[in-house]
Structure 1
Amino acid sequence: MFDALLQTKLYMPAAHPGWVKRPFLLAKLEPNRLTKLILISAPAGYGKTTLATAWLQQLQAADTAQVCWLSLDEDDSDPQQFFRYLAEAVRPLPGIQSHLPQLLQSNQTIPPKTLMKAFVQDVFPVSVPFIFVLDDYHAFDSADIDTALGTLLDLMPPQMTLLLTSRSDPGFPISRLRARGELVELRADDLRFTEAEAACFLQQTMGLALLPEHIAALESRTEGWIAGLQMAALSMQHRASDDLHDFVRSFTGSHRFIMDYLTDE
Structure 2
Amino acid sequence: MEEIQQTRPPDRYELLSTKLALPRPRPSLVLREPLLARLDEALEYKLTLLSAPAGFGKTTLVSEWIATRGERQDPLPVAWLALDAGDNDPARFWRYVIAACQAFQTGIGKSALVLLHTPRRPSLETVLTTFINELAQLAHKCVLVLEDYHVITSSQIHETMAYLVDHLPATVHLLILTRSDPPLPLARLRAHGDLYELHAADLRFSLAETEIFLRQALPFPLSAEAITRLEARTEGWVTGLRLLALALQGREDTWDLEHMLGTFTGSHRHILEYLVADVLSSQPERLQEFLLQTAFLNRLTGSLCDAVTGRNDGEHMLEQMERANLFLIPLDDMGQWYRYHALFAEAMQHEARRRLGEDYLRTLYDKA
Aligned length: 265
User: 1:76: how far off?
Assistant: 0.4
- AA aligned to 2:168 is M
User: Whose RCO is larger (CA < 8 A, sep 6+)?
Assistant: 1
Q: Match for 1:101 among 82, 90, 113?
A: 113
Whether 1:235 and 2:243 are equivalent positions in the alignment is no
Q: Is the Cα contact below 8 Å between 2:42 and 2:48 reproduced in 1?
A: no
Aligned to 1:16: 26
User: 1:246: how far off?
Assistant: 1.9
Aligned to 1:78: 89
Name the SS for the 1:65 alignment partner. Answer: coil
Q: TM-score, normalised by structure 2?
A: 0.68
User: 1:67: how far off?
Assistant: 0.3
User: 1:42: how far off?
Assistant: 0.4
Aligned to 1:55: 65
Distance in 2 (CA, whole Å) between partners of 1:198 and 1:45 is 15
Distance in 1 (CA, whole Å) between partners of 2:196 and 2:216 is 30
Whether 1:244 and 2:257 are equivalent positions in the alignment is yes
Aligned to 1:254: 267
Aligned to 1:127: 139
Whether 1:26 and 2:36 are equivalent positions in the alignment is yes
Structure 2 runs not aligned, ≥5 long: 1-7, 279-368
- AA aligned to 1:59 is R
Of the two, which has the highest radius of gyration? Answer: 2
Q: Match for 1:87 among 95, 98, 101?
A: 98
Q: Deviations over 1:55-96 (max 9, x none)?
A: 122235543421011000000000000111111111242383
The 1:41/1:252 distance shift into structure 2, 3 A limit, reads same
User: Which runs of structure 2 are paired with 1:184-199 in the superposition (5 Å)?
Assistant: 184-199=196-211
- AA aligned to 2:202 is D
Q: Is the Cα contact below 8 Å between 1:79 and 1:144 reproduced in 2?
A: yes
Name the SS for the 1:214 alignment partner. Answer: helix
Q: TM-score, normalised by structure 1?
A: 0.93
Q: Is the Cα contact below 8 Å between 2:217 and 2:245 reproduced in 1?
A: no
Q: Match for 2:168 among 156, 164, 175?
A: 156
Q: Is the Cα contact below 8 Å between 1:218 and 1:248 reproduced in 2?
A: yes
Aligned to 2:48: 38
Distance in 2 (CA, whole Å) between partners of 1:101 and 1:172 is 24
The 1:87/1:212 distance shift into structure 2, 3 A limit, reads same
| Structural RMSD (CA) | 1.8
Distance in 1 (CA, whole Å) between partners of 2:270 and 2:42 is 41
Aligned to 1:174: 186
User: Which runs of structure 2 are paired with 1:130-145 in the superposition (5 Å)?
Assistant: 130-145=142-157
- AA aligned to 1:255 is H
Distance in 2 (CA, whole Å) between partners of 1:176 and 1:184 is 12
- AA aligned to 2:162 is G
Q: Is the Cα contact below 8 Å between 1:149 and 1:172 reproduced in 2?
A: yes
Distance in 2 (CA, whole Å) between partners of 1:199 and 1:33 is 31
- AA aligned to 1:91 is Q
Distance in 2 (CA, whole Å) between partners of 1:23 and 1:122 is 34
Distance in 2 (CA, whole Å) between partners of 1:18 and 1:32 is 22
Distance in 2 (CA, whole Å) between partners of 1:217 and 1:19 is 20
Name the SS for the 1:91 alignment partner. Answer: helix
Name the SS for the 2:81 alignment partner. Answer: strand
Q: Deviations over 1:133-160 (max 9, x none)?
A: 0001012211111111111111111011
The 1:81/1:33 distance shift into structure 2, 3 A limit, reads closer
Q: Is the Cα contact below 8 Å between 1:68 and 1:90 reproduced in 2?
A: yes
The 1:76/1:32 distance shift into structure 2, 3 A limit, reads closer
Q: Match for 2:158 among 120, 126, 146?
A: 146
User: 1:108: how far off?
Assistant: 2.6
Distance in 2 (CA, whole Å) between partners of 1:238 and 1:40 is 35
Structure 1 window deviating more from structure 2 (139-148 vs 51-60): it is 51-60
